[in-house]
Structure 1
């Protein structure tokens, strides 16, 4: 890929319209603009690896980028590596060197880069990131069948006593392979924080327009919830199809309320709570709808 060779070898002075990634390394703006967020993360990881002076095994969020795992929260452009020689974790200029032993099968080579295995990477991210981030990653690997719950449980048991293992274990207990996107995963965490009933995921409904699956279903309240991450609002045909689908669901005898939200509401308890209450879903812990 031309962009990769450019970013790894070119200094800003040799580029016509550079985007500076870090000291001494840049990429052409057009090349950078053409990359997806995941491709940008991967490119920065590879660029930093190419300039690494002391050896290390790419790990944590940097390894997650190489494995294609979803991100959540503020981006971390530093290079994270495991350094078995280190006695304490050290954050230097653009590089974080983590303390950590290396077990059998913990290291693989991805496109020439020594990287922690997928299992080790997921466990390390779940231990050291927020609960939401851990759930996003765990839902993803379970949904894709990249890892199974037993393997993750065993790895966490083997890591007992390390920082963050309790949180990672809680996130794994909460993780659900039925969650199909980061937005759904984040929404589930927020729903739990609102003390709402746990939803059924991907519930099928047979309607007069066919069978549809919904993202969230609260049977006791008769409320359907949909995370709106699929429909582009400039696509009139898709919007019309979605409206007819929603109308068919509303005509279903069991559905009494319908909640729809996007990423702006997914991680915000006040905003998502308002949407859910308007649809008829009861919330707990004294939550009140403030207009």
Structure 2
């Protein structure tokens, strides 16, 4: 991955319209606006790492950004490093120094920066983040084939007894390579917490308008679920195509209900539960208490 270091400066006052990243470093507003969320995270990590004066290996969510792994929740703009010399994890000014040993086999040079390997990064993130975040990351690496499940299982077994390993192992057991986006991963976690049956992912339907694949399918209930993160409703052609696709799926003989939701509902049990119940999916009784 390459990033334009020329847009960084130690003298923000020399920029026409700067966006301050942190003390002493800024970027032109136009350049910042042209970057996507992942590119912004990567830029800040690289900028902070370049100014890091003490020893440390870029790790955790910072290394995850450089590896291009998906985020969940509020963006963490701090630089995370593992520092074998420290005896206690310390969060300072824009830098979090994690206690822990690190084998040189777990360190790689990426774009001139020493960071934890993909495997070590995923394990660290899965151990120290929320269950949802762990599932989002694990679903992703399994889906793109970046890591094998057996390799991850072995790495977590080697970490037995360390903080967060139980959660990471549970997230790996739950992870599914068929999930294609963070929104689908978060939706799966919410469905599980609602006490609903586990869905079949990426099921194909042969309809009167062709073969279509759906995000979620509950065969016993005859319910299709679709996460809407891919649809651009301001495009009339896309909207019309999606409507005809949904109509064709609804006409399929086995389909009795159809639920569609976005990111706002994906992580909200009350909202997603109401949509699934309305579509005809039986879920646990406890979901109503969350409304």
Query: Which residue of 2 is the match for residue 6 of structure 1?
Result: 7
Deviation at 1:73, TM superposition (A): 0.2
Deviation at 1:2, TM superposition (A): 7.7
The 8 Å contact of residues 274 and 289 in structure 1, kept in 2 or not, is answered as no
Query: Which residue of 2 is the match for residue 141 of structure 1?
Result: 141
Q: Distance in 1 between matches of 2:247 and 2:62?
A: 44
Q: Tell me, yes or no, if structure 1 residue 36 matches structure 2 residue 62.
A: no
The 8 Å contact of residues 273 and 289 in structure 1, kept in 2 or not, is answered as no
3-state SS in 1 of match to 2:133: helix
Query: Which residue of 2 is the match for residue 283 of structure 1?
Result: 283
Q: Summarize the Cα distance change of 1:271–1:16 in structure 2 as closer, same or farther, 3 Å threshold.
A: same
3-state SS in 1 of match to 2:19: strand
Structure 2: gaps spanning 5 or more residues: none
The 8 Å contact of residues 270 and 288 in structure 2, kept in 1 or not, is answered as no
Q: Distance in 1 between matches of 2:31 and 2:270?
A: 39
For residues 145-185 of structure 1, give each alpha carbon's deviation from its aligned partner in whole angstroms, at most 9, with x where no partner exists.
00010000000000111110000000000000000000000
Query: Which residue of 1 is the match for residue 88 of structure 2?
Result: 88
The 8 Å contact of residues 127 and 163 in structure 2, kept in 1 or not, is answered as yes
The 8 Å contact of residues 223 and 281 in structure 2, kept in 1 or not, is answered as yes
Task: Provide TM-score, normalisation by structure 2.
Answer: 0.97
Structure 1: gaps spanning 5 or more residues: none
The 8 Å contact of residues 197 and 218 in structure 1, kept in 2 or not, is answered as yes
Deviation at 1:80, TM superposition (A): 0.2
Q: Tell me, yes or no, if structure 1 residue 223 matches structure 2 residue 223.
A: yes
Q: Summarize the Cα distance change of 1:248–1:61 in structure 2 as closer, same or farther, 3 Å threshold.
A: same
Query: Which residue of 1 is the match for residue 107 of structure 2?
Result: 107
Compute the RMSD of aligned alpha carbons: 1.4
Query: Which residue of 2 is the match for residue 160 of structure 1?
Result: 160
Deviation at 1:11, TM superposition (A): 1.8
Query: Which residue of 1 is the match for residue 27 of structure 2?
Result: 27
Q: Distance in 2 between matches of 1:287 and 1:48?
A: 43
Q: Summarize the Cα distance change of 1:289–1:92 in structure 2 as closer, same or farther, 3 Å threshold.
A: closer
Q: Distance in 2 between matches of 1:150 and 1:2?
A: 33
Segment drifting more, 135-144 vs 103-112:
103-112
Q: Distance in 2 between matches of 1:49 and 1:251?
A: 55
Deviation at 1:290, TM superposition (A): 9.0
3-state SS in 2 of match to 1:211: strand
Q: Summarize the Cα distance change of 1:196–1:104 in structure 2 as closer, same or farther, 3 Å threshold.
A: same
The 8 Å contact of residues 83 and 100 in structure 2, kept in 1 or not, is answered as yes
The 8 Å contact of residues 84 and 102 in structure 1, kept in 2 or not, is answered as yes
3-state SS in 1 of match to 2:77: coil
Aligned pairs (5 A) from 1:39-118: 39-118=39-118
The 8 Å contact of residues 7 and 31 in structure 2, kept in 1 or not, is answered as no
* Count of matched residue pairs: 290
Query: Which residue of 2 is the match for residue 194 of structure 1?
Result: 194
Q: Distance in 2 between matches of 1:2 and 1:152?
A: 30
Q: Tell me, yes or no, if structure 1 residue 169 matches structure 2 residue 179.
A: no
Deviation at 1:105, TM superposition (A): 2.0
For residues 10-67 of structure 1, give each alpha carbon's deviation from its aligned partner in whole angstroms, at most 9, with x where no partner exists.
3211111111111111111111111000000000001101111102100000000000
